[in-house]
């Protein structure tokens, strides 16, 4: 056993080492973190060194750094089961063999954490085999409050507006982490300051304003590929899924987004749009952002985008909203990939050539599209057609009941032939729009082949999985298309779903303010039930949605068979409610019987009174 002097020197050395480590770790800026995994690892190491620097914790010489590490690992063990489910739920198709082995080691590590306790001797025995800290920290969260105690430093705008891949990844990671914290919207500026959000929009708008109406991508090289993404509707975690599966924009990989970045109230529209703008600033030649039907002032107001920005930034939200609207006008309208593939949000458009009112509509060309003034405020027929038009099975080009056109397979053939193209990939329609169009694909897999003609094909792609509209959930897959050499004309569609998403900020508002603002429908006792023989009836409340546009959803109780007594399988509160219902029906039947008896007695009394009056009348007439 070492002497007390040696133990004290060892203890002091450990103490100073932990202090030094804590100071160095505290100096690390979280903005340099490439992912949230790194951030969690940093926090764990800081906790280890902080506790190691605490002399009270190290009074016992046996309390080594290893033992400190064990105490921290015990906290991680409590999350091991959830970590294992998260790891097993990931998609590993795009990983290479080395990355798959890395994931398998993480899974094995978590399985070991689930099956045994971490005692000091166990850790000491495996110290040489322990993975690096970055590999040990694998729990990314699954929607609970695990991250609520983590405070992130707000991201800062880089000097001279020079964005780096690390900065964009840091922005994405911080926004993702914020969505999992279930924080109030007013806390959003603590993660993304207003000045940074405005700088993103302003800087991207300057780039977009210089681009033509039709963004052209000239691919070369066997490793080149283009990813085409459809409507996202504010599905931030679907965007992250796409990046995780397909990879990020790079020198050999282009991204084309067909618009509709913002969605209905309660979505993560601002996060989606700002992250895409960041990638656009970083790689303007590799990221193409097209305008969708949602990226107009009228649509943005209908989709509560103004409310979303003001919820996050208060009075400054109006300023950011106006800048986003101006940025929407700068977005190009279409793209052409490898001189073969045409992508746009809605579809084909009418020619701007003047023709008689009685003449059929003429199909527009790419040359005419380039001349459209997309930044124009007010009525713009061609712009409306590009954003709102839809294909159908009948031939011809005709006006729809809204802003766009309806075009048939013959128009698809004409446009492809005159433009020397092979493929059209458009968006605009999801499973909700196709639910009442039995002649078209239902979009439940995220895409459909709408027209097959001699010159090529027309596809519709939709990238927002598990779409919900009002009370209806479509349980659809999202999808993106991958175009690869040599021709880029045979898109490969990758479908996916994102099941595990955090609660939206809109839902947080509703929950947080329910105590003060919740509107109730209430069934209260003491409203005459006692007079009907019902004592102490059960009471309940039904919360109404805070937005008039939302539809009230009630969970249907278990099925109840006719007659009494109630089945034993019915649980509370359904049993009390049904018992009360049957008692109410019984009381109402009794009340009806009482009223029937009273009405019968009244009729009998009236009959007798009438007979008496007739007798009196006869007696009076005989006098």
Instruction: Give me the helix-helix angle, 236-246 and 269-282, nearest 10°.
Output: 40
H-type alpha helices, 27-94: 36-52, 65-77, 80-88
Quote the pLDDT of residue 543: 47
H or E stretch covering 236: helix 236-246
Among the ranges given (49-58, 282-291, 482-491, 584-593), the one the predictor scored with the smallest mean pLDDT: 49-58
Among the ranges given (25-39, 237-251, 456-470, 520-534), the one the predictor scored with the smallest mean pLDDT: 520-534
| CA–CA gap between residue 480 and residue 496 (Å, rounded) | 9
Quote the pLDDT of residue 581: 67
How far are the Cα atoms of 19, 202, 389, 421, 513 from residue 458, in angstroms, in the given order?
64, 35, 13, 11, 47
Quote the pLDDT of residue 367: 94
Among the ranges given (82-96, 351-365, 472-486), the one the predictor scored with the smallest mean pLDDT: 82-96
Would you mind telling me the total number of residues written for the chain in this entry? 623
> Are residues 26 and 46 in contact, defined by beta-carbon separation less than 8 angstroms?
yes
- To the question of pTM greater than 0.75 for the whole model, the response is no
| pLDDT, mean of residues 123-133 | 35
Q: 387 or 83, which is more confident?
A: 387
Tokens 């998260």 label which residue? 86
Q: What is the pLDDT of residues 227-253, one digit of tens each?
A: 999 999 999 999 999 998 999 999 999
CB-facing half-sphere around the CA of 192: CA atoms within 13 A = 30
Confidence of residue 570 (pLDDT cuts 50, 70, 90): low
Query: Among residues of the chain, what percentage have pLDDT more than 90?
Result: 40
51-65: b (≥16 Cβ within 10 Å) or e? bbbeeebbeeeebbb
Query: Among residues of the chain, what percentage have pLDDT more than 70?
Result: 59
Tokens 């509107």 label which residue? 519
Who contacts 355 (Cβ-Cβ below 8 Å, separation ≥6)?
Answer: 362
Confidence of residue 125 (pLDDT cuts 50, 70, 90): very low
| pLDDT, mean of residues 449-454 | 96
Q: What is the pLDDT of residues 70-83, one digit of tens each?
A: 554 454 454 555 55
| CA–CA gap between residue 131 and residue 134 (Å, rounded) | 8
Who contacts 68 (Cβ-Cβ below 8 Å, separation ≥6)?
Answer: 48, 51, 52, 57
| pLDDT, mean of residues 102-110 | 64
Determine whether 279 is exposed, middle or buried from the number of CB atoms within 10 Å of its CB (0-12, 13-18, 19+).
buried
| pLDDT, mean of residues 17-33 | 60
> Are residues 340 and 424 in contact, defined by beta-carbon separation less than 8 angstroms?
no
Q: What is the pLDDT of residues 131-158, one digit of tens each?
A: 333 222 222 333 344 444 445 568 889 8
pLDDT of 55 strictly over 70: no
Q: What is the pLDDT of residues 170-221, one digit of tens each?
A: 899 889 888 887 778 888 999 999 999 999 999 999 999 999 999 999 987 7
Which domains are delineated in the chain? 4-136 (no CATH), 159-509 (3.60.21.10), 518-605 (no CATH)
Quote the pLDDT of residue 524: 34
Q: Report the sign of the C-alpha dihedral through residues 570, 573, 574, 579, in that order.
A: positive
pLDDT of 129 strictly over 60: no
288-319: b (≥16 Cβ within 10 Å) or e? bbbbbbbbbbebbeebbbbbbbbbbbeebbee
> Are residues 176 and 252 in contact, defined by beta-carbon separation less than 8 angstroms?
no
336: left (phi over 0), alpha (psi -120 to 50) or beta: beta
Quote the pLDDT of residue 611: 77
pLDDT of 60 strictly over 80: no
> Are residues 214 and 335 in contact, defined by beta-carbon separation less than 8 angstroms?
yes
Quote the pLDDT of residue 377: 81
DSSP state of 392: -
> Are residues 462 and 231 in contact, defined by beta-carbon separation less than 8 angstroms?
yes
Name the most confidently modeled range: 8-17, 28-37, 350-359, 489-498: 489-498
| CA–CA gap between residue 474 and residue 488 (Å, rounded) | 31
| pLDDT, mean of residues 527-555 | 46
Query: Across the chain, what does the average pLDDT equal?
Result: 75
DSSP structure string for 82-135? HHHHHHHTS--TT--HHHHHHHHHHHHHHHHHHHS---HHHHHHTGGGPPPHHH
Determine whether 141 is exposed, middle or buried from the number of CB atoms within 10 Å of its CB (0-12, 13-18, 19+).
buried
> Are residues 442 and 431 in contact, defined by beta-carbon separation less than 8 angstroms?
yes
pLDDT of 265 strictly over 70: no
pLDDT of 343 strictly over 90: yes
Among the ranges given (70-74, 282-286, 318-322), the one the predictor scored with the smallest mean pLDDT: 70-74
Confidence of residue 552 (pLDDT cuts 50, 70, 90): very low
| pLDDT, mean of residues 118-136 | 34
Residue 76: helix, strand or coil by DSSP? helix
Q: What is the pLDDT of residues 344-381, one digit of tens each?
A: 999 999 998 755 665 678 899 999 999 999 998 878 89
Q: Which two tokens stand for residue 354?
A: 């003047």
Who contacts 424 (Cβ-Cβ below 8 Å, separation ≥6)?
Answer: 341, 342, 343, 344, 347, 412, 415, 416, 456, 457, 458, 459
Quote the pLDDT of residue 110: 58
| CA–CA gap between residue 501 and residue 179 (Å, rounded) | 9
Quote the pLDDT of residue 224: 92
Q: 569 or 385, which is more confident?
A: 385
| CA–CA gap between residue 177 and residue 150 (Å, rounded) | 9
DSSP structure string for 338-386? TTTEEEESS---B--S---TTSPPPBP-HHHHHT--TT--S--HHHHHH
Confidence of residue 61 (pLDDT cuts 50, 70, 90): very low
Q: 377 or 303, which is more confident?
A: 303
């Amino acid at each position: 056993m070492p002497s007390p002097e040696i133990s004290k020197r060892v203890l002091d050395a450990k103490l100073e080492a932990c202090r030094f480590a804590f100071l160095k770790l505290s100096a690390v800026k979280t903005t340099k973190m490439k992912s949230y995994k790194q951030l969690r690892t940093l926090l764990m190491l800081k906790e280890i060194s902080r506790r190691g620097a605490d002399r009270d914790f190290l009074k016992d010489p046996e309390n080594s750094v290893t033992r400190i590490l064990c105490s921290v690992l015990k906290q991680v063990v409590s999350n091991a089961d959830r970590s294992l489910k998260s790891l097993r739920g990931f998609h590993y198709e795009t990983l290479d063999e080395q990355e798959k082995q890395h994931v398998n080691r993480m899974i094995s590590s978590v399985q070991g954490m689930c099956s045994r306790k971490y005692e000091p001797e166990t850790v000491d025995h495996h110290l040489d085999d322990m993975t690096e800290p970055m590999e040990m920290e694998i729990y990314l969260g699954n929607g609970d409050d695990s991250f609520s105690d983590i405070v992130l430093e707000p991201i800062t705008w880089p000097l001279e507006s020079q964005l780096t891949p690390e900065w964009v990844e840091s922005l994405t990671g911080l926004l993702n982490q914020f969505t999992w914290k279930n924080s109030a919207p007013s806390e959003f500026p603590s993660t993304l300051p207003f000045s940074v959000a405005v700088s993103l929009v302003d800087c991207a708008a300057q780039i977009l304003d210089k681009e033509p109406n039709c963004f052209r991508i000239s691919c070369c090289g066997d490793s080149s590929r283009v990813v085409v993404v459809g409507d996202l509707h504010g599905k931030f975690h679907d965007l992250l899924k796409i990046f995780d599966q397909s990879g990020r924009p790079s020198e050999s990989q282009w991204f084309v987004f067909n618009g509709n970045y913002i969605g209905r109230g309660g979505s993560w529209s601002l996060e989606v749009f700002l992250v895409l703008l960041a990638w656009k600033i970083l790689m303007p030649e590799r990221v193409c952002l097209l305008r969708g039907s949602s990226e107009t002032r009228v649509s943005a107001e209908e989709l509560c985008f103004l409310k979303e920005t003001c919820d996050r930034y208060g009075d400054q939200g109006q300023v950011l909203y106006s800048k986003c609207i101006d940025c929407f006008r700068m977005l190009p309208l279409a793209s052409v990939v490898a001189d073969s593939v045409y992508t746009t949000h809605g579809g084909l458009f009418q020619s701007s050539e003047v023709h008689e009112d009685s003449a059929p509509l003429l199909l527009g060309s790419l040359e005419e599209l380039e001349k459209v003034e997309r930044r124009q405020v007010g009525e713009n027929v061609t712009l409306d057609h590009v954003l709102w038009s839809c294909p159908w099975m009948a031939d011809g080009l005709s006006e729809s009941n809204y802003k766009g056109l309806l075009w048939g397979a013959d128009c698809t053939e004409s446009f492809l032939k005159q433009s020397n193209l092979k493929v059209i990939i458009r968006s605009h329609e999801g499973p909700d729009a196709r639910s009442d169009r039995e002649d078209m694909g239902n979009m439940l897999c995220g895409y459909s082949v709408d027209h097959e003609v001699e010159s090529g094909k027309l596809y519709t792609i939709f990238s927002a999985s598990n779409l919900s509209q009002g009370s209806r959930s479509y349980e659809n897959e999202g999808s993106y298309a991958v175009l690869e050499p040599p021709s880029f004309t045979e898109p490969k569609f990758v479908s996916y779903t994102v099941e595990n998403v955090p609660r939206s900020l809109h839902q947080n508002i509703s929950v947080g303010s329910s105590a003060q603002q919740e509107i109730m429908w209430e069934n209260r006792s003491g409203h005459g039930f006692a007079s009907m023989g019902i004592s102490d009836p059960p009471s309940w409340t039904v919360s109404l949605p805070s937005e008039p546009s939302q539809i009230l959803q009630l969970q249907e109780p278990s099925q109840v068979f006719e007659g009494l007594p109630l089945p034993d399988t019915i649980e509370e509160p359904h049993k009390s409610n049904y018992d009360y219902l049957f008692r109410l029906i019984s009381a109402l039947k009794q009340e009806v019987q009482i009223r029937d008896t009273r009405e019968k007695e009244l009729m009998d009394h009236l009959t007798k009174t009438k007979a008496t009056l007739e007798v009196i009348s006869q007696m009076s007439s005989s006098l």
